[in-house]
Amino acid sequence: MLELLGEANSTALIGFIGGMALGLAARIGRFCTLGAIEDVLYGAETGDFGCGP
């Protein structure tokens, strides 16, 4: 199937799918760094820098 898309489109598709998977893992796992950024941006500052329970 990747031969039908071409190299550039295949690379973009793989990158998109990988980004979606990593983004979902970050949202579900609530990594400390991403959690801290999310808390600041969305106004849910808890003082624990996103690493708390």
Whether residue 32 is contained in a domain is answered as yes
Query: Residue 48: what pLDDT?
Result: 57
Query: Residue 15: what pLDDT?
Result: 95
Report CA Rg, the chain: 16
Query: Residue 29: what pLDDT?
Result: 74
Whether residue 53 is contained in a domain is answered as no
Could you read off the pLDDT of 10-53 as tens digits, one per residue? 999 999 999 999 888 877 776 777 777 777 787 765 555 555 55
Query: Residue 4: what pLDDT?
Result: 85
Whether residue 21 is contained in a domain is answered as yes
- The alpha carbon of 23 is separated from its chain's Cα centroid by a whole number of angstroms, namely 2
Whether residue 30 is contained in a domain is answered as yes
Whether residue 52 is contained in a domain is answered as no
Domain count, the chain: 1
Query: Residue 37: what pLDDT?
Result: 76
Whether residue 47 is contained in a domain is answered as no
- Region of 52 please: left (phi>0), alpha (psi -120 to 50) or beta: beta
- Residue 29's domain comprises 2-42
Query: Residue 28: what pLDDT?
Result: 79
Whether residue 25 is contained in a domain is answered as yes
Q: Which residues contact 38 (CB under 8 A, 6 or more apart)?
A: 44, 50
Query: Residue 16: what pLDDT?
Result: 96
